[in-house]
Amino acid sequence: MTKEILIYAEVTRDNYIHTVFFELANKAQELAEKLDEAEVNALLISPKGLAADYREAFKNSGISKIYVCEDDRLKTYSTEYFTKAAVEIAKEVQPEILLLGATNQGRDLAPRISTALHTGLTADCTGLDINEKGQLAATRPTFGGQLMATILCKNLPQMATVRPKVFKPAEKDNIKPADIIYKTVNLDEIEKKVELLEFHKKLTTEINELDSAEIIVAGGRGMKNADGFKLLKEFADKIGAAVGASRAAVEMGLASHDMQVGQTGKTVTPKLYIACGISGAIQHTIGMDKSEKIIAINKDEKAPIFEIADFGLAGDVFEILPELLKYKALTEDASWKKLP
Amino acid sequence: MKIVVCIKQVPDTSDIKWTENNTIQREGLESVMNPYDVYALEAALKLKKSYDNIEITTLSMGPLQAGDMLKKTLALGVDNAILLSDRKFAAADTYATGKTIGTAIKQKLPDFDLIICGQFAIDGDTAQTGPSIANTLNIPQVTYIQEIISSENGELKVRRELDDGTEIVKVKLPALICMLQDYFEPARARINGIIKAQNSEITTYGLDDIGLLPEEAGLRGSPTYVSKAFRPEPKNTECVFVNSAEELAEKIQICKGGKND
């Protein structure tokens, strides 16, 4: 029997397949080669009639089959319905490995699926491999990123979640379109106890573009107060950057959780990351140390952030940021001169 | 309403030291209450302030010393505290932990209405134990909660903070919720609370008390196991220090890929 690696294809609220699916699909191809040429397939849970449209979106992901559970009750995400659908399909398909993105939805859904299937789940992996015994070797940071652990699972499917941007999506042309296989799951027996009353989409100006930003300006404990973050925001706006924060800044109430970079926040890989008043605890740096270039401003020249920075300035951010705001060239491709 | 707040004692991860063998030096490691569980506890105490007839039980699984942490919750106004402590619980993964805590609640607190957990624990950072408990008890869950709005007619109304926006969600009790954060004044211990805490014994249960088999708990009951633990490789970057904002602006400009004349 052909072994299967199943990847959950999360449908976003505006009906796109989440980018993390393509990253996982690409990684899974690599795993499949080490797993007796296993098949890489997708699990799609969606309202009726969309699977055919999605077939196009799955191009280039290299998957063979799309297992689809379609029902109009699956229009918006619900832990209860989606768990039921995923569990039933996983029981039938019996994949060796089941992967999900560590998104809000993935982190809500994955542990319900794994508990229902009596199997193990490794969260937020930064490395996936197949070992010499054909097992999924899932590596993840733990203890605030100070320790890496490679975790194996005794039961099937071996489950793992991976954050967006940890792996790269495929860059190959479509080989052949995937087959759509419809699966019927009886949702009638589910008594739905959670009801979505309202959804307030963030305005474009409020959406934190950390995931896609080319430049991120992030603040930590050293930004001290709301005024500090206002200054940071002003600087970020000026150079066209998204604003990030360390956990300390979030705990101080200076920034919201969706701005948090690091272990309990996001993983980011911008072209340039400017860390302001961030000491560089490993639980923060683990979420940003793959940035192309890192610039750090901190008053303590011995702060660990400088160990991973390309350029650093030891000094007071409250003096340096206003100074930087004076350089017109930072905001435009204008001549390099300081404004009066 | 009967509320169970699940609390984990975690090592202070900002202060980890290494042994010569590249393992974590556990002796002398400072333990703290997981920060997200503090939010969970605060949320429960806030409900108690706003509504009548609320009884809060804090529950933790861990070594006996976690009892001290539970005593502190009694001083803050919690009514009862339960510690699940047994060598056979040790080295449990999130599946076994969810099963152990879920089973303990089923056995010892069967008439609960609401279970509140922190969204993450800062040591493992899996965000899995809450949903795993909910699945074990076959109850609904709501994760990423920023605020509990109201509790009426056996239903809880909450606000979730997600990457693309906020949701207002209604959930029928009994249910489990995971707190991300909430903005409130931290609770302070009260004198009568401290006296109560000093005079109280923490109820402790082991494997047999909750009716689990040895193969269902701890390392034996865990589908996952650690095959290797290692120190992450430090990134070797030579930091070039500049001396002025002007020089820094120049570096920023170069890194941005813009022109620099």
Residues A110-123 pLDDT 10s: 999 999 999 999 99
Least confident of A105-114, A194-203, B206-215: A194-203
Is the Cβ–Cβ distance between A185 and A89 less than 8 Å? Answer: yes
| Contact list, B120 vs chain A (CB under 8 Å) | 264
Q: Dump pLDDT digits (tens) for B81-95.
A: 999 999 999 989 999
Checking if the pLDDT of B105 tops 90, the result is yes
Q: Residue B261 — very low, low, confident or very high, per pLDDT cuts 50/70/90?
A: very low
* Interior/surface letters A282-308, b for 16+ CB within 10 angstroms, e for the rest: bbbbbbbbbbebbbbbbeeeebbbbbb
Q: Dump pLDDT digits (tens) for A117-144.
A: 999 999 999 999 999 999 999 999 887 7
| B245 within domain boundaries | no
| B243 within domain boundaries | no
Is the Cβ–Cβ distance between B186 and B42 less than 8 Å? Answer: yes
Q: What is the pLDDT of residue B193?
A: 78
Query: What residues are paired with B121 via a beta bridge?
Result: none
Closest among A264, A266, A262 to A308, alpha carbons compared: A262
Checking if the pLDDT of A152 tops 80, the result is yes
Q: What is the ipTM of this complex?
A: 0.89
| B200 within domain boundaries | yes
Least confident of A110-119, A133-142, A271-280, B29-38: B29-38
Chain A residue with minimum CA distance to B176: A194
Closest among A199, A212, A44 to B162, alpha carbons compared: A199
Q: What does the pLDDT average to over B176-197?
A: 78
Whether A76 and chain B come into contact, CB under 8 Å, resolves to no
Residue B96 Cα distances to A44, A100, A232, B218, angstroms: 29, 21, 44, 6
| Contact list, A147 vs chain B (CB under 8 Å) | 16, 24, 229-232
Q: How far apart (Å, rounded) are the C-alpha atoms in residues B7 and A340?
A: 56
Omega prior to A157 cis, within 30 of 0 = yes
Whether A335 and chain B come into contact, CB under 8 Å, resolves to yes
Q: How far apart (Å, rounded) are the C-alpha atoms in residues A279 and A297?
A: 9
Average pLDDT, chain A: 90
Share of chain B above pLDDT 90, in %: 69
Beta carbons within 8 Å of A259's beta carbon, 6+ residues apart: A208, A210, A243, A244, A245, A250, A265
Q: What does the pLDDT average to over A265-269?
A: 88
Option in B169, B250, B252 nearest A195 (CB): B169
Helix (H), strand (E), coil (C) string for chain A: CCCEEEEEECECCCCCECHHHHHHHHHHHHHHHCCCCCEEEEEEEECCCCHHHHHHHCCCCCCCEEEEEECHHHCCCCHHHHHHHHHHHHHHHCCCEEEEECCHHHHHHHHHHHHHCCCCEECCCCEEEECCCCCEEEEEEECCCCEEEEEEECCCCEEEEECCCCCCCCCCCCCCCCEEEECCCCCCCCCCCEEEEEEEECCCCCCCHHHCCCEEEEECHHHCCHHHHHHHHHHHHHHCCEEEECHHHHHCCCCCHHHEECCCCECCCCCEEEEECCCCCHHHHCCCCCCCEEEEEECCCCCCHHHHCCEEEECCHHHHHHHHCCEHHHCCCCCCCECC
Q: Dump pLDDT digits (tens) for A201-252.
A: 887 656 667 878 899 999 999 999 999 999 999 999 888 899 999 999 998 8
Q: How many CB atoms lie within 10 A of CB A49?
A: 9
Residue A109 Cα distances to A202, B127, B136, angstroms: 23, 11, 14
Checking if the pLDDT of B253 tops 60, the result is yes
What Rg value do the Cα atoms of chain A yield, rounded?
22
Is the Cβ–Cβ distance between B90 and B30 less than 8 Å? Answer: no
Q: Residue B35 — very low, low, confident or very high, per pLDDT cuts 50/70/90?
A: confident
**What tokens were used for A299?**
């008053």
Q: What is the pLDDT of residue A276?
A: 97
Name the residue with higher pLDDT: A145 or A2: A2
Checking if the pLDDT of B17 tops 90, the result is no
Beta carbons within 8 Å of B192's beta carbon, 6+ residues apart: none
Q: Residue B233 — very low, low, confident or very high, per pLDDT cuts 50/70/90?
A: confident
| B6 within domain boundaries | yes
Checking if the pLDDT of A178 tops 60, the result is yes
Q: What does the pLDDT average to over A76-101?
A: 97
Checking if the pLDDT of B51 tops 80, the result is yes
Scanning A36-55 for CB atoms below 8 A from B yields none
| B159 within domain boundaries | yes
| B201 within domain boundaries | yes
**What tokens were used for A311?**
């350029």
Least confident of A42-46, A78-82, A323-327, B70-74: A323-327
Listed in order, the ranges of chain A carrying CATH 3.40.50.620 are 4-182
Q: What does the pLDDT average to over A171-175?
A: 66
| Contact list, B149 vs chain A (CB under 8 Å) | none
In angstroms, what separates the C-alpha of B103 from chain A's closest C-alpha?
13
CATH topology (fold) of A4-182: Rossmann fold (3.40.50)
Checking if the pLDDT of A333 tops 70, the result is no
**What tokens were used for A17?**
């397949």
| Contact list, A145 vs chain B (CB under 8 Å) | 232
Domain that includes residue B36, residue range: 2-228
Residues B168, A197: C-beta atoms closer than 8 Å: yes
Q: Dump pLDDT digits (tens) for B108-154.
A: 999 999 999 999 988 888 899 999 999 999 999 999 999 999 999 99
CATH code of the domain covering residue B148? 3.40.50.620
Q: What is the pLDDT of residue B260?
A: 42
The tally of domains found in chain B comes to 1
Checking if the pLDDT of A61 tops 90, the result is no
Q: How far apart (Å, rounded) are the C-alpha atoms in residues A297 and B245?
A: 10
Exposed, middle or buried: residue A12 (CB in 10 Å: 0-12, 13-18, 19+)?
Answer: middle
| B247 within domain boundaries | no
Q: Give the CATH class of A209-330.
A: alpha beta
Average pLDDT, chain B: 89
- Side-chain half-sphere exposure of A125, counting CA atoms within 13 A: 25
| B235 within domain boundaries | no
Least confident of A245-254, B19-28, B48-57: B19-28
Which of A10, A107, A126 should we substitute to test contact with B (largest number of B Cβ atoms within 10 Å)? A107
* Interior/surface letters B169-188, b for 16+ CB within 10 angstroms, e for the rest: bbbbbbbbbbbbbeeeeebe
Q: What is the pLDDT of residue B22?
A: 58
Residues A281, B14: C-beta atoms closer than 8 Å: yes
Q: What does the pLDDT average to over A38-64?
A: 88
